[in-house]
Structures are given as structure tokens and as C-alpha cells.
Amino acid sequence: MNNPRHIKDLLYEQVARIGKAASSPKRLELIELLCQGEKSVEVLARETAISVKLTSAHLRELRAAQLVETEKQGKYVIYRIANRAVAEFWVAIHSLAEDRLVELRLVIEQMASHPKELAPKDRDSLVKLARRGDVVVLDVRPADEFLAAHLPFARSIPLDELKRRLSELPRDKTVVAYCRGPYCLMARDAVALLRKKGYEALRLPEGVAEWGMTPVR
Amino acid sequence: MNNPRHIKDLLYEQVARIGKAASSPKRLELIELLCQGEKSVEVLARETAISVKLTSAHLRELRAAQLVETEKQGKYVIYRIANRAVAEFWVAIHSLAEDRLVELRLVIEQMASHPKELAPKDRDSLVKLARRGDVVVLDVRPADEFLAAHLPFARSIPLDELKRRLSELPRDKTVVAYCRGPYCLMARDAVALLRKKGYEALRLPEGVAEWGMTPVR
DNA sequence: AGATTAATCTAAAGAGTATTGGAATGTAAT
DNA sequence: ATTACATTCCAATACTCTTTAGATTAATCT
């Protein structure tokens, strides 16, 4: 059985393994989360609101497709993205989805709720503003994710500490908050809180994965 | 039901529509074929060796995911890639698969059979050589695909005409043959034929999609 | 040693997908 | 009008995937 058709079938079948891994909403959410940094099964389950058992099963699939790697640390199993290419694929697939699927764009729009929440998409100019201190780039993800990687000149105040650490932010600067990416709601909530307290705040819908800064190894 | 969890579920579910479309080997093959140019259901079925009915069903899925568009031309229905982003996604997913899956790399290696079939990957230098006429870049795909788009300075001799049109190729130049991409076997067969006839021939494993030249509209 | 915690494995039910054959639709050729 | 052709629709079957529950493994804590 070495005919051309047989060979081709083998080839596309392998590529389809990646597609299969990316065909479940839960697995995609796990991938996005792992793009923020390595995590244990328990943490992944908590953050995604999936049962530990089911999380484990989905991670098993991701590992079968070689998209994630594991390392046993004591009684924990730490999962991480296999390499940067996986993060780039996550960005590629969700970007294509946003490009093609009206339904997705609709949900994203209604997520923004207030029209002025979107920050400028131009990365260079944002970095320039942040470097000069004209805006404060605020990372509202958990501290360990900030530690693993963060946008240039960002400072870390996790969302659940924001209320009591408001005083750390200058009142006269615009705050640009970001979190895990366009589907994460933490930055949205942070901006809502900041505005209620009188700050000028914008949400940057991108995260480290979209900026090509996913931590690996 | 406007709680955050519900919103997130909607978001990832939409992205998973793209993953689902890419989770079947046959659909991937159809996408790759459509990256070469628009085609009718009949042609797609013939080229992929899938029954017309099943081809139609898979194309239906691809259209549901908004990855392809259709246009009725007389009694034919012409399918095409929705836009360039789809071709880029095809390249992204098969590149990731090659990066991550040993099994895939193994099949590709045994496909090359002769070690020297691989041509230089550096695009600029290949284009330079082709411009100066130091090598002949040969497109062995069907004529309509060549017409839709081809690599710079390439000339077209479809594989099934190659034997009787050999005289069109200069005997003293290296021939670099390419076809639809790394999973297409036409360039491999062309190289085998050329070598048997005494030509110096190499296979370029990339096609128009990999070079970002997929025809759209 | 025994209890606790993290994670996985196995089995089973339900939901969804791939594939095929037969019928139906719409267009073009005779 | 009738016939041929390209494509899709519908229904049935086999298969695969998702999810949950119960049992199991392995490391840590008391």
C-alpha cells in the first residue's frame, strides 16, 4: 500500500490532529490560559470552571496532539505550551475566527459595552507613551502570569487587589488595562472599576500572546 | 444569563467552529486545493478522490464556518476560499503540524525518497536565480491553477504534459519543480521523470499558499 | 501507617460527525 | 418536452467525542 492516495491520506490525517485539538471550546480556552504561563491541572480547572476530571481529559488530548508538555512537580502536574508556535497558532485561529464569523464579532462588541473602552491598536505608539510615562499600562492578571511575561512598561495589579491598591495609580494619567486577551473579562472589569472611581481608563483587548511574548520553557 | 461564564462560552465556541472545520483530513485537503484557485464540486471531488456527495457535504461544513464562498455558474457551483486569511490559516496549521508531529515529518521524509530533491528554502535567492535565468522554475500544476497564480518567473508545464513537452526545457539549466505544496506529489513525480531523462532537477516543497500568493476573489 | 490531595484511568451514556444511498432541485443540451 | 448533468437534501448507519461517576495511582502530610 504505497500508492500516492495512501500517502496523502496519512499527511492530511496528521494535520487534522491539530485541527481536532482545536475543535473544542474548552481545549481552546485551556490553550489560551497556558499561553499566559505554565499551570497545574487544578489551576486550569478552576480558571476555566471545568471539573478537574474533564480538564485532565482535555489536556490529555492536547498532549496527544503534542501541543502541550507536562512536568511532574511533587504531587502537581504542570502543563505548558510546547513552544511559541502553539501560541502563534492560538492567535492565528482566533484572529481568523474574528475575521470570518460575524457572530463572534457581535459577542465581542457587546462585551465592550462602552464604546470608548478600546485602546489604540498601534503597538509602537502605545509603548512610546508608556515609556514616557504618559499612560500607565496596567496588567490585571494574577501575579504569576505577570511574572512569566508582561507587556513593556506594564505594572501589575491583579484584578482582585485593584480596589484596595487604587492609590498606587496616578490620578492624572490615562490607565490602559489589559489581561489575557480579547476573550478575557478582567480588563473590562478593571476599566469599569477605574472609571467609577474617576480614572480615565481604556481596555487593551490584546494580551501577551497577541504581542508574541508568550513565555515558554 | 449574562454572566461572564456564559459570555466566555459563546466566544470559545465560535473559535471552535474554525477548529472543527479543520478537524477533518478531507476538509483540509479541500482547503489546500482551493488555495490553488476556485474550483467546482466535481473537480474538487475528482482531485481528492472523494465521492461528489461527500465532497459536497464537507464543503457545506466549510461554508458553515465561513471559510469558503460559492458562486453558481450555470449548472456548476464554484467554490473559493473566502479570503487570503484562510490560506494563511492553512499554512499556519500545516506548519504547526510539521513542527510538532514527528509522525508527519517521517511521512514527508520518506516522500522525498531521494535526499537531494529538496531545493533551497531561501525565497529571495531562488527568485534571483530565476530572474537571471540560472534556474528554470517549473510549475507542474494544471494550467488553470498556474493561470490563477504562480511563483515569480515560473513557467507552466502540467505534469501530464511534461513527457511530451520535455524539449521546451533547456538541458543545461537546473529545473526547480513545484506544485500545490508540501503534500502534493506532482512535483516529486516531475523531478523523478526529469532526472530519468538526464536533467538536473530539484523539488521545491512549497507552493503559492506558502509564498502568500493564493488567488482570491 | 493512615489520611489527604492531585491527577489519571476506565467504563458508560448521550451527543455529535462521517459516510452512503436514494430522492429532489435546478440548469443546460437535445 | 425530454433528457442529461451537477449539486444538494434527507434519512439511516456506524463511528467518534464529550462528559460524568467510580475506582486507582502517586506524592505529601500528620
Mean pLDDT, residues B193-204 = 95
Q: Who contacts A181 (Cβ-Cβ below 8 Å, separation ≥6)?
A: A32, A35, A94, A205, A206, A207, A209, A210
**Which one of B83, B96, B183 has the shortest CB-CB distance to A18?**
B96
Asked if B118 has any chain A CB less than 8 Å from its own CB, the reply is no
Q: What does the pLDDT read at residue A121?
A: 76
**What's the confidence (pLDDT) of residue A120?**
73
pLDDT tens digits for A106-134?
Answer: 999 888 766 677 777 789 999 999 999 99
| Range in A72-81, A93-102, B109-118, B168-177 the model is least confident about | B109-118
Helix (H) or strand (E) holding A136: strand A135-139
- Mean local confidence (pLDDT), B154-164: 97
- Cα–Cα distances in Å, from B38 out to A205, B31, B71, B147? 35, 10, 10, 11
> What pLDDT, on the 0 to 100 scale, is given for residue A115?
64
Q: Which residue pairs, CB below 8 angstroms and at least 24 apart, start in B147-155? A: B147/B37, B148/B36, B148/B37, B148/B38, B148/B215, B149/B36, B149/B37, B149/B208, B149/B213, B149/B214, B149/B215, B150/B208, B150/B213, B151/B178, B151/B208, B151/B211, B151/B213, B152/B127, B153/B127, B154/B130, B154/B178
Q: How many residues does chain A have?
A: 217
Per-residue pLDDT, averaged over A143-157, amounts to: 97
Average pLDDT over residues A54-82: 98
**Three-class SS of residue B56?**
helix
pLDDT for the residue B142:
98
CA dist A184 and A24 (Å) reads 18
> How confident is the model at residue A200, as a pLDDT?
94
Question: B76: helix, coil or strand?
Answer: strand
Instruction: Single out the residue of A183, A78, A76 nearest to residue A68, CA to CA.
Output: A78
Quick check: A186 pLDDT over 80?
A: yes
Is the pLDDT at A1 greater than 70? The verdict is: no
Give which of A6, A14, A17, A32 to mutate to test B binding, by max B Cβ within 10 Å: A14
Question: Pairing relation of β-strands A68-73 and A76-81?
Answer: antiparallel
Interface contacts A/B by beta carbons within 8 Å: 149
Residue of A nearest to B107 (CA): A11
Q: Does residue B77 surpass a pLDDT of 80?
A: yes
pLDDT in tens, B15-30: 999 999 999 999 999 9
Instruction: Say if B51 is an interface residue toward chain A (CB within 8 Å).
Output: no
pLDDT at B182: 95
pLDDT value at position B58? 98
Q: What is the mean pLDDT of chain B?
A: 95
Q: CA B217 to CA B215: how far, in whole Å?
A: 7
Which among B214, B168, B217 has a CA at the least distance from the CA of B194?
B168
Separation between the CA of A149 and the C1’ of D20 (whole angstroms): 36
Interatomic CA distance for residues A51 and A44, integer angstroms: 10
* pLDDT of residue B210 exceeding 90: yes
Q: Using a pLDDT cut of 90, give the percent of chain A over it.
A: 91
Please determine, for residue B1, whether its predicted confidence score (pLDDT) is greater than 60. no
Question: Across chain A, what does the average pLDDT equal?
Answer: 95
Query: Predicted confidence band at B112 (pLDDT cuts at 50, 70, 90)?
Result: confident
- Inter-residue contact B78 to B71 (CB < 8 Å): yes
Q: How far is the CA of B159 from the C1' of D2 (A)?
A: 41
* B178, pLDDT greater than 80: yes
In DSSP notation, A51-110 reads -HHHHHHHHHHHHHTTSEEEEEETTEEEEEESSHHHHHHHHHHHHHHHHH-HHHHHHHHH
* pTM for the full predicted model: 0.94
Residue pLDDT, tens place only, A34-55? 999 999 999 999 999 999 999 9
Residue B114: the pLDDT is 66
Q: Give CA–CA dist B59/B24, Å, rounded.
A: 11
pLDDT reported for residue A2: 67
> How many residues are recorded in chain B?
217
Q: Average pLDDT, stretch B105-120?
A: 79
